[in-house]
Every structure is written in structure tokens, then in C-alpha cells.
Structure 1
Amino acid sequence: MSGSPPASGDPAGDPATAQEVWLLMRDLVFGRGDHRRAASEELGMGYSRIKAMLHLEPGELAHHELAAELLTDKPYTTVIIRDLLERGLVESRPHPSDGRSKLVSLTPAGREQAERARRIVVAPPEEMSRLSTEDLAQLRRILSLLTPE
């Protein structure tokens, strides 16, 4: 019977309910939980610059690798890097084994700004604090089923 809930133990859920839950999750994440604007205002720069710094936190990347991480083309990535260089937040040096490429990394000031941004963007929406420990554990369990490593 279409539209009815799955029988107990049935691995397939109702598509309409799945869509409803998905829309609720999207609203939570992209509506109430999207702190990109707050990070941009706090740090005084566009989010593309912040995103670049967050991708550089683990370590230096070649310019083309950063472009791939940011899902931007190389010319726009160069604009981002140039702006971050002017702000003293990144440094760029020749790639030791590829003369056509450069490596970019965070400066200490860039690392500090990236940490500030990370604290802002990873803050959960206020609604999450209303959930009990048990509800949060159940939500974690369910989400881990959807995002296997």
C-alpha cells in the first residue's frame, strides 16, 4: 500500500516522510544553523576567504589543490589568495618540486582568524540545546547511519 508506513523491520521508509524529514534537516542546517554570514561579519571578509582559511588549517596546499577544495576556478582562487596575502593571513611560496605551482599556508594571524571562524560556523543552532541527552544520542545514531565513514 503506497504512502503507508513500513512494516516493523521493513528497511525502506515512506518516500514522502523521508522528503519531509530531509526538508526539516535542510531548514535546520541552512536556515537556523547557517552561521556563514555571522562569521563574515565578525571577521570582516567574505565567506569564500574564510572557507579558504578553514581548508588551510590542516596544512599548506598548492594553489590548484585549494581551488579544488573550494570548488572554484584557479583565477578566482588566485583572487582569494591575493586578498588573504594582503591581509597577512596567508603566505605563498614556490612549490619545491613543481616550478609552475605555489604552496599557500596560514600565517599565525590567519590561524587565529580561522579558529575564530571555526568557533562561529560550527556552533549548533539554538534548537539543538533544547534536546535531551537521550534525544541527541538518538539523533547522532540516526545521522551516523546516513553518513558512514
Structure 2
Amino acid sequence: MTTPPTPGHAPPSPAVAEELRIAIARLSRRLRGLRGVPPADGSPGPLSLTQFAALAAIERNGPMTPRELADHEKVQPPSMTRVIAHLEERGLVERTPHPTDGRQVRLTVTGAGSALLATERKRKEAWLAQQVALLTEEEREVLRRATPILDKLSRS
């Protein structure tokens, strides 16, 4: 659903939308690439993007059933079952009884899961802060002012 332009304002050119899409995709790829490096001791390496997204969704939204998580992440339940199994094996999520439906379970993030998410977020924020520090003061001000607008676009 598109909103018509406000009276007196021309719609943005398609080039603006394309440039914004490319820049956001490129930045997103860079941030995703900053995931943890596999340890040398042979212990499990970093989570896949799907595993990380599922873990973050549970933390952000609170306890969820496996079906709610699959719906939220827009994946098929069998795929989510494998993701959940991996997160459980790593001790990052745990199953708890559903408070009103004995046939279901809810997934909650463990302390280890929260710690892993915090570490990954700090790594990405540190990299981003380093990149922002390389910008001019004027560029940083433009970003400061654009951030709420980008957030608005991401929620629409």
C-alpha cells in the first residue's frame, strides 16, 4: 500500500529508492559479516543468520511457541524445528510448558543466549561506531537526523 505524495511535494524519483535500497543492503551485508569467528578449539562456531534471527526474535518478543516463531520469521515449521534444535543443543534457548495449553511449549532465551546476543550486538555497534567516527561532523549530523526516518521506513 503506497501513500500518495503530500500536496505540494513531488514523489521521490525511483533513483532515490534504488540508491537507498542498495546502500541499506550493502550495510546490512557488512554487519551480517561481522558475526563471530569460529573458535579454534573445535567448539561450535557462530550461529547462522536464521539461527541468530530466531534467537533475537525470542529475546525481543518474549516467550514464543515454535509455531509463533516460525510465523514471525516467515519460515516453514519443519525448518524452524531444526533451528530450535540447534539453539537448544547450544544451550541458547530452553523449552518451558505453555501456561494454558499443555500440548504446547514456549521457547525462552537462556542466560547464555542473551550473553551471545549482547556480544554480537556490541561487536557490530563497535564496528559501526568506528565507521561513523571517520565521517565529517556534517555527515554525522545527517545520519543522526536520518536515523528516525530509516526506523520509520523499517516499520512500515
TM over 0.5: yes
Closer/same/farther in 2, CA of residues 53 and 21 from structure 1, 3 Å limit: same
Superposed, 1:42-121 pairs within 5 Å as 43-58=45-60, 59-121=62-124
Q: 1:141 aligns with which of 125, 141, 145?
A: 145
Q: After superposition, give the CA deviation of every residue in 1:66-122 in whole Å (9 maximum; x if it has no partner).
A: 112222111111111111111111100221112332100111111111111222344
Of 22, 34, 37, the match for 2:33? 37
Kindly provide the amino acid, as one letter, of the partner of residue 80 in structure 1. V
1:23 deviates by 4.9
**Normalised by the size of structure 2, how large is the TM-score?**
0.70
Counterpart CA distance in 1 for 2:96 and 2:116 is: 21
Rg comparison, structure with higher value? 1
For CA contacts below 8 A with separation 6 or more, give which structure has more relative contact order.
Answer: 1
Aligned-residue sequence identity (percent) comes to: 25
Kindly provide the CA deviation profile for residues 43-82 of structure 1, in whole angstroms up to 9, marking residues without a partner as x: 5221211111211223222212211222211111111111
1:57/1:111 contact within 8 Å kept: yes
Q: Secondary structure at the match of 1:105?
A: strand
Are the counterparts in 2 of residues 50 and 117 from structure 1 also a CA contact under 8 Å? no
Distance 1:115 1:14, change over 3 A: closer
Give ranges in structure 2 of 5+ residues lacking alignment: 1-7, 39-44
**Partners of 1:40 and 1:46 within 8 A in 2:** no
